Structure 1
Amino acid sequence: MSIEERNNSEEVEKATAVAESRITFADKLITFFNNNKAATILTIVLLVVFIWFTIKIGTNEKNFNNEKKQLITQHESTIDSLNIKHLKFATEVFSWSVRSELLRNNTENLNQLLTVFVKESGADLIQLINPENKMVLLSSDKKFEGSPFQGNLDSEINESVVLKEKGNIKIVTPVMGFNKMIGILVVQIDREK
């Protein structure tokens, strides 16, 4: 035999061996499945159950996160409304102190009251406005004093009103004298903080 024939026969033998090994692996796999039908069925059932539980857990997790967001939003809005309600009540009580100091024309004590109320209540700005000309009589921020009030005010208010605007909340409370309104108390809370 010549060298070329040997090389060709070796290549044919190698190709046949590779093809037989492929066929034998496939044959072995089919033979294994045929001999172990119960194990094969259980493996397939196990895979299906695993995939089903993975999908179920993902769905439950999404539902949980959605419910959690809704509860947090609901809780925050409830707390926000309670805080506003309490601050409205505190503002009404505070207006009685402002009334008594206004009737005595004691502006020094009023300035101290405004400062303490801002510190204790969490309000950001308190202004006392003259109802006749809408000028700021006193303010917790002194740069507003003596200037016209920036915003809309109804000088005919009879009780405390909560106004929700873009980035803040204003509680407007009338300060009544003996027979007429002597001031309008505006307490402002900035939501963006």
Structure 2
Amino acid sequence: MTDRNNQNQNEQSAVNTFFSMLSAKFEILAKIPTMQFPAKYAVMLVGVIVVIFVWKTIAVSKVESDMAKKLEGERVLITQQAREYADQQYTKEEERFGQVLSWAVRGELIRHNIDQIDQYLSEIVKMKDTERVVLIGEDGQLLVSTDKRLEETKGVELFPKEILNLQKVTVKSDVDGKKILVVPVMGLNKKIATVVVSYKQPKF
């Protein structure tokens, strides 16, 4: 029992000796418990800490905001470029389609086979997003329409002259709120009619 007490006393003495050496080496440690800071210094210290914390929070938020704006700008730019490329490819395909349609309609129109043209246009209007297809003679008369409500309407009442006077296959993105494909039908020496395909505008 005595040996154990002696051992405990030795350990406690070693600990006390260690702290004494540490306090002697770092005198400030020994003074900390007895130091008293004026209240204004304590408030100033807290204020500095708060200011640093707020500044850091604002700086981090600004960096995050700048990065988010940059990423959003890049996303919008990439989306716009992709859409423009898709539109260009779509326009090329529409122009090719329009050229073939022009040849088909010309052959039937020269033979005065209006019923066959009506069948062609009726098939075209079944295509996705196609709203209406009309054939307008060079004199402005409506020759064929997939919308039978327009049979008594004149072609010049449906589209302005600058549309009907086009001499090559053209895609117009916004004519009275519609996207249209204008297909001039050319005879041997002059234009003899115009096919206009109206599409529903895609919703973004």
TM-score range, shorter chain: 0.5 to 0.7
CA distance in 2, matches of 1:140, 1:174: 18
Who is 1:73 aligned against?
80
- State the secondary structure of the residue aligned to 2:195: strand
Who is 1:18 aligned against?
none
Matches within 5 A, 1:54-69: 54-69=61-76
- State the secondary structure of the residue aligned to 2:94: helix
Structure 1 residue 51, shift from structure 2 partner: 4.8
**Paired letter, 1:79:** A
Who is 1:103 aligned against?
110
Distance 1:26 1:107, change over 3 A: farther
Distance 1:117 1:25, change over 3 A: farther
CA distance in 1, matches of 2:96, 2:112: 24
Structure 1 residue 172, shift from structure 2 partner: 2.1
Who is 1:138 aligned against?
144
8 Å CA contact 1:99–1:176 kept in 2: the answer is yes
CA distance in 2, matches of 1:115, 1:25: 93
Matches within 5 A, 1:10-21: none
Who is 1:186 aligned against?
196
TM-score by length of 1: 0.65
Q: Which of 90, 95, 100 in structure 2 is aligned with 1:88? A: 95
CA distance in 2, matches of 1:123, 1:45: 63
Higher-Rg member (1/2):
2
Distance 1:167 1:84, change over 3 A: farther
Matches within 5 A, 1:107-118: 107-118=114-125
Count, aligned residues: 162
Who is 1:125 aligned against?
132
CA distance in 2, matches of 1:74, 1:82: 12
Backbone CA RMSD of aligned residues: 3.4
Instruction: Name structure 1 gaps, 5 residues minimum.
Output: 1-23, 34-40
1:158 partnered with 2:167: yes
CA distance in 1, matches of 2:55, 2:136: 73
**Paired letter, 1:158:** Q
- State the secondary structure of the residue aligned to 2:68: helix
Structure 1 residue 183, shift from structure 2 partner: 1.3
Structure 1 segments, 4+ long, off by >6 Å, are 24-27, 41-47
Instruction: Name structure 2 gaps, 5 residues minimum.
Output: 1-35
CA distance in 2, matches of 1:66, 1:78: 18
**Paired letter, 1:118:** V
**Paired letter, 1:159:** K
CA distance in 1, matches of 2:142, 2:38: 92
CA distance in 2, matches of 1:181, 1:174: 7
Q: Percent identity?
A: 25
CA distance in 1, matches of 2:91, 2:154: 26
TM-score by length of 2: 0.62
